[in-house]
Amino acid sequence: MIFEKLKGIIVEELGVDPKDVTLDADLSDDLGADSLDAVELIMEIEDAFDISVNDDAAQEFKTVKQIVDFIEKEE
């Protein structure tokens, strides 16, 4: 459930093909996210999941799975 919702946000924010968004996908290398994309993505994640992501946590996000794991802990 969390992954599917997150996948939708990533596809919308980054304009990538849904099949490219996997748990192992690297946000910058595989999905082409730059620092501005990352900030916008974090804001959308915070709104969608009603959580707060501090800057330190956000800096650690390299893969989609790391974001899913963070959301699971926060919810």
Q: What is the pLDDT of residues 19-60, one digit of tens each?
A: 999 999 999 999 999 999 999 999 999 999 999 999 999 999
Structural domains in the chain?
Answer: 2-74 (1.10.1200.10)
Query: Which DSSP category does 27 fall into?
Result: T
29 in catalytic set: no
Residue 56 is predicted with a pLDDT of 94
Residue 64 is predicted with a pLDDT of 98
Residue 31 is predicted with a pLDDT of 98
The answer to whether 65 touches 27, Cβ cutoff 8 Å, is no
- pLDDT above 90 for 75: no
**Tokens 């730059």, located at residue:** 34
Cα R_g (the chain), whole angstroms: 11
- Whole-prediction pTM: 0.95
Q: Given 20, 26, 34, 69, which residue is catalytic?
A: 34
